[in-house]
Structure 1
């Protein structure tokens, strides 16, 4: 599918824009599933000021979708209309501050933040090693793994709204709950400040290595997957419900429920986004029929079919 090219129109309305605007940019290579259609426009801002300029001049009628490293994302086959915003290297800086604090751009990989904290002797952020994404996504979904989650360590987050205005949000402002952030949906996170506690670098790095080994032993980390597919319901584990419903290894086309960990969907090679999404919906149907539980998607699905 190809969208009308609106890059010239956008550029004309934003003199001085320094970031890149790409029409009909393929998104499949930017996602871990490696499938899905293009972005009508893919925008990579040069820095925060450039992003503010862009947002202040983006017409309200143009949809805006924000993506990160594409680890927990399914782009539908028809692609994403409007602008897809991706924060790149300009938003990936990580710095250590006094008081066991770490400041990280929203585009910084979670593992990079965990490692910076570990090397500085800051404990409490080790769980980020188990989240395969970037800080922006971790903020938006209160990312967590291995006994920790963002709400445990966040001091504040900085964001821009759809008009380019800047905001600073406290942990309370984020209104965190399980795998959810209650901050306004139009806010685009650009930076986070975390606070841990003193620890021994060697011990912290050893725990990080344990997380790495545990993920490799229990999750299909070297496949085309989108991470955890469904949120854990209250008092239950999603994978156990999927397994009990007989869905381990279930296939639709080239999409499969992982044999290793059945809360993961896998692209065996050439799967369409529709096959992956339909497989997820079939799993939800079977789990509901078997246990009465309605599983909620954890993977973010964007675009048109």
Structure 2
């Protein structure tokens, strides 16, 4: 990594972004856990990112992270390079006419909803309640309140590992529930969305309902990663967690919320190990109770600390 750091720091490359060795990743996740990155790069803009990718050897692992709201980083940290797109350079949101909005990948979902309100475009209220960024919403087909990113997306712009530009239409994204089939090595940098014209008072009312629901039934002021598990067909994840007696279940500093038991919390000084072990314990108990194998919605990345591996539950 020291050799790679020196090579990427060469002034001849002309990189303008921030390159940091041993970056503390616990500071960027909402769980406030996780080990360091070998290297972390935050590009200045798309051109800077393209130059960095062209210079990065293909054998070096590259992990893209967003604002860390739906992310569990393991205690051993992340090897290779962690790429994080900053709001400055990738966070702009603007209405561009014809019922469309262009948003950078680092823009918050909430900001997109606010710009849609200003432009009088309906159908974006669901983003008001998702504590994530546009890049994550595209990659995971983020959704809430019966609406998904796929319902609003027109096209997504991305760079590949060589820094080349790709533009994918909605059909090319291969969207399904909380998933997109787009190649894993694509790094989304922006997207265009569209929605129907709608009275602003109706849009505001829908956004207020989303906000009220979220503040009433979700532990929004806790250190959490949002929904822990995807909803299985025909039921809700929280119902199955509750039936299995896991509401309030605690391991170390990690706890399944008593308010909304599909939310996992860091209620003290939880480690990544505590959180992942709690999740796998819940998966095992739910399967024993109902025969349903819950799928993680939270992304788990990185290396386990030595001697602290968590084995995924398998029936």
Taking the aligned partners of 2:123 and 2:99, their CA distance within structure 1 comes to 10
Q: Which runs of 5+ in 2 are unaligned?
A: 305-315
What do residues 226-257 of structure 1 show as CA deviations (whole Å, max 9, x unaligned)?
A: 00000011111000000000000000001000
TM-score normalised to structure 1 length:
0.97
Structure 1 match to 2:76: 78
Taking the aligned partners of 2:73 and 2:296, their CA distance within structure 1 comes to 14
Superposition deviation, residue 134 in structure 1: 0.1
Query: Aligned pair in 2 of structure 1 residues 5, 234: CA closer, same or farther (>3 Å)?
Result: farther
Structure 1 match to 2:45: 47
Taking the TM superposition and a 5 Å limit, the aligned residue runs for 1:239-258 are 239-258=238-257
Taking the aligned partners of 1:135 and 1:123, their CA distance within structure 2 comes to 17
SS at match of 2:13: coil
Superposition deviation, residue 104 in structure 1: 0.2
Superposition deviation, residue 70 in structure 1: 0.3
Taking the TM superposition and a 5 Å limit, the aligned residue runs for 1:32-181 are 32-89=30-87, 90-181=89-180
Q: How many residues are paired up?
A: 303
SS at match of 1:66: strand
Superposition deviation, residue 12 in structure 1: 3.0
Taking the aligned partners of 2:204 and 2:3, their CA distance within structure 1 comes to 48
Taking the aligned partners of 2:76 and 2:3, their CA distance within structure 1 comes to 15
What do residues 76-112 of structure 1 show as CA deviations (whole Å, max 9, x unaligned)?
A: 0000111111111210000101111110000000000
Structure 1 match to 2:301: 302
Matched, 1:267 2:266: yes
Moved over 3 A (4+): 3-6
Structure 1 match to 2:313: none
Superposition deviation, residue 172 in structure 1: 0.4
Taking the aligned partners of 1:244 and 1:10, their CA distance within structure 2 comes to 52
Superposition deviation, residue 274 in structure 1: 0.3
Superposition deviation, residue 14 in structure 1: 6.4
Structure 1 match to 2:205: 206
SS at match of 1:215: helix
SS at match of 1:122: coil
SS at match of 2:226: strand
CA contact (8 A) 1:255 1:267 kept: yes
